[in-house]
Amino acid sequence: MRVLVIKTSSLGDVLHVLPALTDAARALPQARFDWLIEEAYAEIPAWHPAIDTVIPVALRRWRHGFLRSAHRTEWLQALSFLRSRRYDRIVDAQGLIKSGVLAACGRGERHGFGFASAREPLAALFYGHRHTVDRNCHAVLRLRRLFALALDYTMPEDGIDYGISRAPAASCPQDTAYLVFLHGTAWPTKQWPERYWMELARLANDAGLRVLLPAGSREEADRAQRIAASATNARVLPPMNLTQLAGVLAGAQGVVGVDTGLAHCAAALSVPSVTIYGATNPGLTGTVGKAQYHASADFACAPCLRRVCYYRADAPVTPACYQTLPPLRVWGMVTALLRGSPRHRD
């Protein structure tokens, strides 16, 4: 059986597919899988041994200049490659209209979420086989159920396995214990206050732990520099691709992060992590894996599921919900998690 998986973005959503892929590969050992994905995340499918071919697309880039001949050429080349293969099953794991269109471009039996289950219900119009999966369960479980229904096997009841045996080994020196602070995220309401990060870096410094700070954008780099300046044992990482960042995460004693895609990467690598949630609900999209702790804000309007905070009363920090997750409280969670981890060094 040859299967085409469609999950284009974003980073966390892409990583959520891996346990379903592991289930499918174990249930159907003769099956081979191709994966159609946004070019920015095309490194990730290659980490899983069941993937034969990664088919990158650039929908985000193309939509801002589709009239350019170079963009049209790239799209036509991707479409030609997609049409050149016949698939036994095409599984759209995204559930959006754009991914439904991509599924319709492929040659094969199309499967996806039904009208009541897809993130964009009209996406179901593009599938010949529609599957009902509860929208109120975690994204990882939703995808595992979708794959089991689409590929005709019984979903295993045991724990999840991301199966990323091709991921890189730790790429940072192991002679000094370090934490990684994942401070960058797209939503303003997911941003833990900068001064909290500074205080947390000082607490880590006092405990003899280095702090490494990724920075994927100019804004993140500026914030990382300010955090690093607050603690002598903190430093900003140079620009890295996803595979290199995965190597840094793999060698960490632990990770502290906000709700961001790299936090899911740490979970997939079984790195002990404390992930901070304010606006979002970890019960639906939180990190899943070994040694994962969800620090959820205890606030009247949390989780609000909004990109912008509309709380207008006086508060010591912004977003206001994070006043219930001050640095000392988060540090207590980190130290408790590390004490229970075999990576911990006294």
pLDDT single digits (tens) 170-201: 666 566 799 999 999 999 999 999 999 999 99
CA 25 to CA 121: how far, in whole Å? 28
* Closest residue by Cα to residue 30 from 50, 46, 12, 7: 50
**Ranges in the chain, pLDDT < 50:** 344-346
* Closest residue by Cα to residue 75 from 94, 54, 87, 59: 59
* Closest residue by Cα to residue 143 from 283, 23, 1, 264: 23
pLDDT single digits (tens) 28-86: 999 999 999 999 999 999 999 999 999 999 988 887 765 576 777 888 888 898 999 99
Q: Are 87 and 103 in contact (CB under 8 A)?
A: no
Q: Are 36 and 5 in contact (CB under 8 A)?
A: yes
What pLDDT, on the 0 to 100 scale, is given for residue 341? 72
CA 259 to CA 297: how far, in whole Å? 12
Q: Are 214 and 185 in contact (CB under 8 A)?
A: no
Report all structural domains of the chain as residue ranges with CATH numbers, in order of start.
2-151 (3.40.50.2000), 178-339 (3.40.50.2000)
Q: Are 248 and 214 in contact (CB under 8 A)?
A: yes
- Please report, as a single letter, which amino acid is at residue 191: Q
What is the rounded (10 degree) CA torsion for 98, 242, 338, 331?
-70
Determine if residue 233 is left, alpha or beta; phi over 0 gives left, psi from -120 to 50 gives alpha, anything else beta: alpha
Per-residue CA distances from 252 to 1, 26, 257, 341 (Å)? 39, 30, 13, 12
3-state secondary structure of 33: strand
CA 206 to CA 288: how far, in whole Å? 30
What pLDDT, on the 0 to 100 scale, is given for residue 345? 44
What pLDDT, on the 0 to 100 scale, is given for residue 213? 98
CA 341 to CA 291: how far, in whole Å? 8
Q: Are 181 and 256 in contact (CB under 8 A)?
A: yes
Per-residue CA distances from 108 to 157, 294, 313 (Å)? 29, 40, 55
**Six-digit token pair at 39?**
């070019």
By CB neighbour count within 10 A (0-12 exposed, 13-18 middle, 19+ buried), where does 224 fall?
A: buried
| DSSP class per residue in 271-330 | --EEEEESSS-HHHH---STTEEEEE---TT-S---SS----S--SSSSGGGGGS-HHHH
Measured in whole angstroms, the distance separating CA 295 from the mean position of its chain's CA atoms is 17
What pLDDT, on the 0 to 100 scale, is given for residue 346? 37
Read off the DSSP letter of residue 259: S
